[in-house]
Amino acid sequence: MRIGVLTGGGDCPGLNAVIRAVVRKGVSVYGHEFVGFRDGWRGPLEGDTMPLDIQAVRGILPRGGTILGSSRTNPMKIEGGVDRIKENLASTGVDALIAIGGEDTLGVAKQLYDREVNVVGVPKTIDNDLSGTDYTFGFDTAVNIACEAIDRLHTTAESHHRALICEVMGRHAGWIALHAGMAGGANVILIPEKPFDIDRVCEYVESRFRTRYSPIIVVAEGAHPIEGQIELQTGTLDAFGHVRLGGIGEVLAKEIEKRTGKEARTTVLGHIQRGGTPTAYDRVLATRFGLQAIDAVHEGDYGKMVALRGTDIVRVGLDEATAELKTVPVARYAEAEVFFG
């Protein structure tokens, strides 16, 4: 078989580990051939390929990013996009595709599968918000980076008696904020799933200062106040209709200063959470996902996404995986709330 591989959407530590596992097992165990498609769905859409053999995947296990490149190209928004992909797959002799991506990339994979493209999905996102899998690789790395940042913020906040806000990624789901905030002992954690009350946040800040201890506020970029409390600006949209976020941390700092009279400053971690070397946990998870994905393709088990359930790697339908986002349940947030203030 000749198998195409692509990585789409925001990159994430561990993508290269998946590619390596797919190619290593695919070539050495099954004798398949591979072709890399560059920059997500742009690759098959434009027939932009690169060689993908054992030599090409040597040394990439610990490397962040993706050797295939990525993009947020949405072929469903392009006139004749699906037909162009099918033509390019046929002309490059590709029998099946492995698409590594988040909700958007896998949503496209699902629609292509419905139109008779042989495709298997691998879940990727630092946000950990894909249904059907307990965890996505990249999440552990992002949480560890954010946790280290929070540890560092604690010590400088203490010296200057400031409230420090740490803005982390998480557009619709607050998993990174929840885990990093819990691990880092945040004074309060704000997530998109639960609109926050700025008066309550300020009470937490003041109570922490009263104990002569400086508050650290961890906020997910998609968090927002209760309607009408603070005015927020809106950003531009990408090809999948997502608004470009970033800025809630600054808004919070201004409000906290205004309402409490205490100095408040913001650190936006941004893409630092996405770059660099994956943790050992993410390397192992990504590798196991890659091994399962090539098994699925070899067996002709298309329309599936590989997933982690407990400690097992299983296959679930792409429809199940992309049906709805996995957000933070109320009970999980309540666990963290015990430590607020």
104 labelled catalytic: no
Q: Which is nearer to ligand F6P, 29 or 237 (CB)?
A: 237
Q: How far is the CB of 171 from ligand F6P (least distance, A)?
A: 4
* Number of residues written out for the chain: 341
- Spot the catalytic one: 127, 129, 140, 282: 127
Binding site for ligand F6P (CB under 6 A): 10, 102, 125-127, 169-171, 221, 245, 274
Residue type present at position 82: V
Q: 340: phi > 0 → left, psi -120 to 50 → alpha, else beta; which?
A: beta
Q: How far is the CB of 341 from ligand F6P (least distance, A)?
A: 27
Element (H, E) at 296: helix 280-298
Strand ranges, E, within the chain: 2-7, 33-37, 49-51, 96-101, 119-123, 163-168, 188-190, 216-220, 264-268, 304-309, 312-317
Residue type present at position 106: L
Beta bridge partners of 267: 166
Q: Which is nearer to ligand F6P, 69 or 303 (CB)?
A: 69
Strands 188-190, 33-37: pairing is unpaired
User: Can you tell me the distance from the alpha carbon of 308 to that of 319, in angstroms, rounded to the nearest whole number?
Assistant: 16
Best CA proximity match to 72, nearest among 9, 7, 15:
9
Q: List Cβ neighbours of 71 (8 Å cut-off, separation of 6 or more).
A: 8, 39, 40, 41, 42
Strands 304-309, 312-317: pairing is antiparallel
Distances, alpha carbon 286 to alpha carbons 56, 164, 170, in Å: 18, 34, 21
Beta bridge partners of 101: 123
Q: How far is the CB of 238 from ligand F6P (least distance, A)?
A: 6
CA dihedral over 200, 202, 203, 208, signed as positive or negative: positive
Q: How far is the CB of 169 from ligand F6P (least distance, A)?
A: 4
Q: List Cβ neighbours of 177 (8 Å cut-off, separation of 6 or more).
A: 146, 168, 170, 189, 190, 191, 218, 219, 220, 223
Q: How far is the CB of 203 from ligand F6P (least distance, A)?
A: 28
Which positions are catalytic? 127
